[in-house]
Amino acid sequence: MIKITALQTGTVSIKTKQQAGADGRSAFGRKIDMLRDIVWSPPLPILAYLIEHPEGNFVVDTGDTWRNSLRGYLPRWNPFYTTQVIVKVGPLEEVGELIRARGLDPARDIGTVLMTHMHHDHAGGLYHFPHSRIVVSRENWKAAKSLSGMVQGNLPQRWPIWLKPDLVEANGAAIGPFARSKQITADGRILMVETPGHCKGHMSVIVRGEGLTWFITGDATYSEDNLRANLVDGVTYNPALSRASQAKISEFAESEPTIVLPSHDEKAADRLQRDIIFRR
C-alpha cells in the first residue's frame, strides 16, 4: 500500500504576475511585469510530500527553512528576495519537524529525497536528510549552481556541505505523453518525468497506487486551476516550454484517475485527503 501526505513548511506570498503571467509576454517581459506588480497573493503553502511505499519512505522536495528570516540568509543584492516574495516558516514548520510528528526520523527513516528542482523554497530543508539519497536532475543541478541560477532563485551557498546528489536523467521508457521517464522504485510505481519551463531541468514525480495516481508537479504549475487554464507563471525561462509541460501533465491526468499536487496550491492538501481527481 502507498500513502502520500502533504507537509506544509510555512507559507509564501508572491506577486500575482508571478502566479500567472499575461499571455503573449516573453520570459523577460514577465519578469518586468512581476517587478511592476503591486498586487500580492494571499499566503500560499510551501508543500513537500511524504510517500510511504513498500520499498521505503520518500520525500518530494524539502520546503523552506526558518533561517530565511535571519538577516543575511537571503542575498540582499537580488531584488527577487527583497521585493518579490515573503516567506514565513517557523522552526516547527520545517520538513524535519513535520516528519518527526509522524513518528519518523528524517535523518534515518527517509531513504530517498526526490527534488523537482533546487529553488530555495524547495531545497531549504535538505539539511534534515544527511543519510538519504538525494535525487536531482543533472540539468537542474548544473543550472542551479550557475550565476544565472543564483539570480533565478537558487541558494547553492546555503546547501549542506555534504550534499552530493545522485544526478539523474530521464532515459527510461515513455509514459503517456512524456517521451522519457526515470524509474525510481523497483516496482515502477514511482517515476520522474521531465517538465521544464519553470526552470531548466525541472522534473515532476508520478506515483501510481491501486486504481489512483498522484502527480506531484513541483512548480511546473502553481495550482490545478492554472493547469486547467494553461496559465504559465512569471518565473518561466520559456513560456512555450512551460505551456507544453502543462499540456502534457493535463493529458496524462485525464488519461487515468490522477490527483494533481503542485507545491503552492492552497487546495492541494484537501484534494489529496478527499481523493479529488483532475478534471477539465
Q: Report, as an integer, the average pLDDT of 233-258.
A: 97
As a whole number, the mean pLDDT across the chain is 96
Which has the minimum average pLDDT: 68-72, 111-115, 181-185, 234-238?
68-72
What is the full DSSP assignment across the chain?
Answer: --EEEEEEEEEEEEBHHHHSPPTT--HHHHHHHHHH--PBPPPEEEEEEEEEETTEEEEE-----GGGGSTTTS-TT-HIIIIIEEEE--GGGSHHHHHHTTT--TTTS--EEE-S--BHHHHTTGGG-TTSEEEEEHHHHHHHHSHHHHHTTB-GGGS-TT---EEE---S--BTTBS-EEE-STTS-EEEEE--SSSTT-EEEEEE-SS-EEEEEETS-S-HHHHHHTPPPSS-S-HHHHHHHHHHHHHHHHHTTEEEEESS-TTHHHHHHHT-----
Q: Report the predicted TM-score, pTM, of the whole model to 2 decimal places.
A: 0.96
The pLDDT assigned to 76 comes to 85
> Would the pLDDT of 280 be above 90?
no
Q: Which residues neighbour 39 within 8 Å (Cβ) at sequence distance 6 or greater?
A: 15, 16, 17
Q: What is the pLDDT of residues 177-200, one digit of tens each?
A: 999 999 999 999 999 999 999 999
pLDDT at 99 over 90: yes
User: Residues 6 or more apart from 213 whose CB is under 8 A from it?
Assistant: 206, 207, 253, 256, 257, 258, 259
Q: Which fold, 3-272?
A: Metallo-beta-lactamase; Chain A (3.60.15)
**Is the model more confident about 53 or about 80?**
53
